[in-house]
Amino acid sequence: MKACISLLAALVATSSFEETKPADRFFDSDGVRIRYVDDGQGAPVILIHGYSGNVDRHWIAPGVFADLAADHRVIAFDCRGHGQSGKPTTPDAYGRAMSDDVARLLDHLKIRRAHIVGYSMGAMIAGHFLTTHAERTLSATFVAYHPVRVWTSADEADVEASARDLESDTPFRLLIRQASPPDAPPSEADIRKFSQTLAAVNDVKALAAYHRGRRGLVVTDAQLATSHIPALGIIGSADPSVASMRALEGVMPTLRVVVVEGATHGGDRGILRTPQFRMSLREFLAAPR
């Protein structure tokens, strides 16, 4: 039961940061209202959160935003379909459009180039942005996941299953099972409880559309191999994607991967909460270009 409580906290966590978090701002990205926060001075850093997350859960609550804002200009935004941003419900409103949101945010803020940092789903977006907007990218950091390099019939089936799961009477069943420790699977009662909690803070129709449009974020090995943009991968040794992150080093010459021993994808031991993550990211951002 303790593992289940930890899971729920990781998936819907809020924190007592309301007094210190930067003010919410909004801009129009091709008809979709996007919420963002902006603080600090120095080289600009764009933070892109993970699936079903938002600025507060993945960047502010773990202290990443405040830490970087001490000596960088840090901008984090709620991806379309998430948080306080607009939530279109058609698949063609996602995919590449999520990468283009980053470019439009830079245009809105009159920033020519920025460091791009993406966590989980955000790493997929960062990988696409790196290949389609290289002229706007100072560096790219992939946290707990990486660019999507292939798309097969199995991937197509997977996104449809994820979308149908969200449209079921117990949405997020797949996410809850995937996020649970293998040695402590959730009970049916736990799944239903967590499902109700997650459905209350997410738009399931928008997230189903995101899954069906996810193919639009795929990039090719050739695009990554010819990139000259400095890149960093940071992932926990207990993350299921650690092997595929390592494999990306053989494709992308500019990529260096840091594996944090014992860190998981999310939760109490999640990569975003580790001091090694912050140290590695800071060293990378400070490196001469």
Handedness of CA 250, 256, 261, 265 (dihedral sign): negative
Q: What is the predicted pLDDT for the residue at 3?
A: 46
How far apart are the C-alpha atoms of 175 and 178, rounded to whole Å? 5
How far apart are the C-alpha atoms of 225 and 285, rounded to whole Å? 21
pTM across the whole model: 0.93
Q: What is the predicted pLDDT for the residue at 15?
A: 46
C-alpha distance from residue 140 to each of 31, 114, 154, 218 (Å): 27, 9, 28, 16
Domains of the chain with CATH codes: 17-153+221-286 (3.40.50.1820)
Q: Name the phi and psi angles at 50, rounded to 5.
A: -95, 175
Q: What is the pLDDT along the chain (289 residues), one digit of tens a residue?
A: 444 444 455 555 544 455 468 999 999 999 999 999 999 999 999 999 999 999 999 999 999 999 999 999 999 999 999 999 999 999 999 999 999 999 999 999 999 999 999 999 999 999 999 999 999 999 999 999 999 999 999 999 999 999 999 999 999 999 888 777 677 788 999 999 999 999 999 999 999 999 999 999 999 999 999 999 999 999 999 999 999 999 999 999 999 999 999 999 988 889 999 999 999 999 999 998 7
Asked whether 271 and 58 are in contact (CB, 8 A), the reply is no
Scanning the structure block, which residue is given the tokens 């928008």?
206
Asked whether 186 and 204 are in contact (CB, 8 A), the reply is no
DSSP conformation letters of 164-221: HHHTSSSTTHHHHHHHS-TTSPPPHHHHHHHHHHHHHHS-HHHHHHHHHHGGGG---H
Q: What is the predicted pLDDT for the residue at 2?
A: 44
Helix (H, G, I), strand (E, B) or coil at 101: helix
Classify the phi-psi angles of 142: left when phi > 0, otherwise alpha if psi is within -120 to 50, otherwise beta.
Answer: beta
Instruction: Return the H-helix or E-strand segment holding 74.
Output: strand 73-77
Q: What is the predicted pLDDT for the residue at 175?
A: 87
How far apart are the C-alpha atoms of 204 and 34, rounded to whole Å? 18
